Amino acid sequence: MSRGLILIILYFFSLSFFAQNSNERYLDFSLPEKYLDDTIYTIPEQPIIDLWWKEFNDSTLNYLINKGMNANWNILEALQSIQQARAMMKSAASGFFPTVDLSAGWMRERESRMTGKIPLPNNEYDSYYSGLITASWEIDVFGSIRKNYSYRKNLYQASRDEYYATMVSLTSTLAQAYVNLRINQNQVSVIESNIISQGEILKITQARYNAGLNSELDVAQAKALFYSTKSSLSSYLAAQTKYICTIALLVGEIPQNIKPYLLASAKIPQINSLVPTSIPANIIRQRPDLLAAEKNVQAQADYLGIQKKQWLPTFFIDGEIGLASHDLNKMFESRSMVWQVAPTMKWTVFNGGARTAAISEAKAELQTSIIKYNYSVQNAIQEVDVAISDYSNYMMEFSDIKTATSAAERSLTLSLDLYKNGLADYLNVLDSQKTLLSYQLSLYSTQGDLLNSLISLYTSLGGGWPLKDAN
């Protein structure tokens, strides 16, 4: 082997080496050791609960989420994306194998009689039968086929992670819509009970006015409060319809079909256990959207490697073997065998700068995917910080409003008794009625915020998909 040939081979392998992409870390910042306001939640190496919604012990919620996972349109679309990515990965894997074709036929031909040195007779025709197996195999000398397969494999794995991310989003959105519906139902009940209570007090003011015990002002104020409360009911019922439609869309159902099932109960989901959170570094292994972002970075790194390998030559082994004969009866004799082997090399030496432009484009796409990955990780940590803070603060707020509501109930009872006995004017009763209604609605609203922040905490930690599949 000549010295020049050795140098050329070494040069090609050096190009192949530099076309590889190292498995470096893609984060441009250090992960914090703990979350911002977390003092009691962090348990190192503690995985988040996969099926966190079952902690609410609500059979209706479990049914809706199971139905949504099988009928939600976004889930079905994500499944088709997986199928497409898997097919493209298998197509890339086919590059490891030769392409084999089978052909058979009969041919009759006549050549020009005036192109040779000696003109041929006009009746010279040629015909024969043939059967051939042809094969072409690209030898993956510099790893371009392997790199293309790795690229498609990473895209396939990213599509699976994106499917799980869609599942996490579905469970979160569906659970929050369900909680909002249950909160709305109880708020409607609060308004209806207050309408009844205010109607009874309106009758009392009317009776006292007829008896000359108070002025018409008390009646007018009681009537204004009664109809104001009654008018607020319509907006809550309209919101109830929106929540039902949202849930129906998420589970792939018609609202009319699912409305009776949803309104059969108004029980608000309850949970009493503490939510464990692992250290921030583990969130990257738990959130499917981050896993998908990381796989997309690796896929873009592979794509850059593919473009770099366009500078290298490709090697093929082409060949054919078969039978050919003028006489069909002698087709299978040994003398009829034909074969050919043709090792070839193809090397694009000039294409107007297209390869350089493709590499620049691939580098830009890689950097874009790295930026998106960094943003996704930082945003994920921020989401957990916010969810922990919201959950902690809403717990304190809920406790305070619960105490305030009990006090407002007592205030209304006392002021109404004093009013009936003529020891206080109606203004105290009016204020107590307004305060009680406000606190009762706020109590349920805060309970909804508390449950929704808990759902956000579960999903921001990556709950809602089978974590074992991450391996």
Would residue 7 count as lying in a domain?
Answer: no
Would residue 361 count as lying in a domain?
Answer: yes
Lowest-confidence region among 14-18, 38-42, 257-261, 265-269: 14-18
Buried/exposed code over 199-210 (b: 16+ C-beta within 10 A; e: otherwise)? eebbebbbebbe
Instruction: Choose the final residue of a domain: 329, 346, 363.
Output: 346
On average, the pLDDT of the chain sits at 86
Task: Return d(Cα 450, Cα 269) in angstroms, integer.
Answer: 11
Which position has the higher pLDDT, 36 or 215? Answer: 215
- Reported confidence tier of residue 115, pLDDT bands at 50, 70, 90: low
pLDDT computed for residue 287 by the predictor: 86
pLDDT computed for residue 372 by the predictor: 94
- What CATH number has the domain bearing residue 57? 1.20.1600.10
pLDDT computed for residue 17 by the predictor: 44
Lowest-confidence region among 30-44, 103-117, 387-401: 30-44
pLDDT computed for residue 273 by the predictor: 62
The mean pLDDT of 46-66, rounded to a whole number, is 82
Predicted TM-score (pTM) of this structure: 0.82
Q: What is the pLDDT of residues 127-145, one digit of tens each?
A: 888 899 999 999 999 989 9
pLDDT computed for residue 471 by the predictor: 42
Residues 367 and 276 in one domain: yes
Is the pLDDT reported for residue 276 higher than 80?
no
Which position has the higher pLDDT, 124 or 183? Answer: 183
Would residue 286 count as lying in a domain?
Answer: yes
Residues 307 and 385 in one domain: yes
Residues 245 and 180 in one domain: yes
The mean pLDDT of 286-305, rounded to a whole number, is 92
The mean pLDDT of 264-271, rounded to a whole number, is 89
Range of the domain at 449: 19-97+140-312+353-470
- Reported confidence tier of residue 7, pLDDT bands at 50, 70, 90: very low
Lowest-confidence region among 114-123, 288-297, 334-343: 114-123
Which position has the higher pLDDT, 9 or 435? Answer: 435
37-45, long-range: CB < 8 A, 24+ apart = 37/385, 37/388, 37/389, 37/392, 38/277, 38/385, 38/388, 40/274, 41/274, 41/275, 41/276, 41/277, 41/388, 42/277, 42/278, 42/279, 43/276, 43/277, 43/278, 44/278, 44/279, 45/278, 45/279, 45/282
Residues 93 and 106 in one domain: no
Would residue 68 count as lying in a domain?
Answer: yes
CA 440 to chain CA centroid, nearest Å: 37
Residues 323 and 302 in one domain: no
Residues 188 and 92 in one domain: yes
Partners of residue 346 on adjacent β-strands: 314
Which position has the higher pLDDT, 458 or 413? Answer: 413
Would residue 81 count as lying in a domain?
Answer: yes
Percent above pLDDT 70 for the chain: 84
Residues 215 and 184 in one domain: yes
pLDDT computed for residue 4 by the predictor: 54
Alpha helices in 139-276 (DSSP H): 144-210, 216-250, 255-262
Task: Return d(Cα 27, Cα 45) in angstroms, integer.
Answer: 21
- Reported confidence tier of residue 465, pLDDT bands at 50, 70, 90: low
Lowest-confidence region among 112-121, 192-201, 223-232: 112-121
- Reported confidence tier of residue 271, pLDDT bands at 50, 70, 90: confident
Would residue 299 count as lying in a domain?
Answer: yes
Is the pLDDT reported for residue 152 higher than 90?
yes
Instruction: Walk across the sheet containing 337-346 and list its strands.
Output: 99-109, 126-139, 314-325, 337-346
pLDDT computed for residue 117 by the predictor: 59
Q: What is the pLDDT of residues 229-255, one digit of tens each?
A: 999 999 999 999 999 999 999 999 999
Residues 51 and 29 in one domain: yes
Alpha helices in 311-425 (DSSP H): 354-420
pLDDT computed for residue 384 by the predictor: 86
pLDDT computed for residue 328 by the predictor: 84
- Reported confidence tier of residue 9, pLDDT bands at 50, 70, 90: very low
Residues 43 and 83 in one domain: yes
pLDDT computed for residue 333 by the predictor: 87
Residues 400 and 279 in one domain: yes
Residues 319 and 445 in one domain: no
Percent above pLDDT 90 for the chain: 63
Residues 127 and 217 in one domain: no
Q: What is the pLDDT of residues 371-426, one digit of tens each?
A: 999 999 999 988 888 888 898 899 899 999 999 999 999 999 999 999 998 888 89
Task: Return d(Cα 422, Cα 213) in angstroms, integer.
Answer: 8
Is the pLDDT reported for residue 36 higher than 90?
no
Of the ranges 27-36, 116-125, 340-349, the best mean pLDDT one: 340-349
Lowest-confidence region among 12-16, 189-193, 344-348: 12-16
Tell whether the torsion through CA atoms of 55, 61, 63 and 66 is positive or negative.
negative
Is the pLDDT reported for residue 73 higher than 70?
yes
Which position has the higher pLDDT, 462 or 119? Answer: 462
Q: Which three-class secondary structure state does DSSP give residue 120?
A: coil
pLDDT computed for residue 342 by the predictor: 92
Indicate the number of domains in the chain.
2
